[in-house]
Amino acid sequence: MKVFGITGWSGSGKTTLIKSLIPEIKARGFSVSTIKHAHHTFDVDKPGKDSFEHRRAGACEVLISSSKRWVLMHENNNDNEPSLGELLKKLQRNDLVLVEGFKNEPYPKLEVFRDSVGKPPLWRTDDTVIAVASDTKPLDLNKEFHLLSDIFRIADFIIRQAMSVTDLSGSLR
C-alpha cells in the first residue's frame, strides 16, 4: 500500500483535485482509498438516528451496516487524535491512499496552490511538498509543476512518487 498527500490552504481546490484523480487512477487498475483530516469537530451522524442515540448514550464505537456500505464511528473521548500512521493501519489494504490534510506528517505531498486564496505557499517551508499544481505557474517555484487541469499527468506523478506505507512507518507518529 502506498500513500501520497494533497495539501494546500482551504479553498485552493484540494477536494476537487482528489475527486478528479480517483477515477483516473482507478481507470489504470489501481484501488484507491482516501483519508481526510478535519480541523474542526464533525459528525457523520444525525440527531434522532439510532446510531446517534447509541453514541449519545456512551457507546465507544458504533458500527452501522447495510447491503451497500458500512461505517464505524469511534469516539476519541479524552484520547489523543490518532496519527496518520494509526489511521492507515485501520484501512483495508489497497494500492494507494490519497491523504488530504495531516500537513505535519512526513509523507510526500503535492500542494494545490492558487494566488487568489491569498495565503503564502507551503512549498517554501515544507520539504515534504515535492510538487505544486496550480492554474498558473508561480514565478519562484523550485519544485515540479503541474497544471491543475492536467489530471492525467498529475496521476502519473502521484503513482510514481507515492511512498510505501511500510517505508513511512518509521517516520509516522
The CATH code of the domain that includes 136 is 3.40.50.300
Q: Rounded to an integer, what distance in angstroms lies between the CA atom of residue 97 and that of residue 4? A: 6
- Does some domain include residue 31? yes
| Burial tier of 81 (Cβ tally within 10 Å: 0-12, 13-18, 19+) | exposed
Going by C-alpha positions, the residue among 22, 27, 28, 29 that lies closest to residue 4 is: 22
Q: Is 65 domain-assigned?
A: no
Which ranges of the chain have pLDDT less than 50?
Answer: 173
pLDDT at 173: 45
Q: What residues form DSSP beta bridges with 98?
A: 4, 34
Domain range for 88 is 2-42+82-168
In a domain, 75, yes or no: no
The total number of residues shown for the chain amounts to 173
What total number of domains does the chain contain? 1
CA distance 110 to 114: 13
What's this model's pTM, rounded to 2 decimal places? 0.87
pLDDT confidence of residue 103: 85
pLDDT of residue 110: 97
Which residues are within 8 A (CB) of 66 and not within 5 positions of it... i.e. 6 or more apart?
none
Residue 100 domain-assigned (yes or no): yes
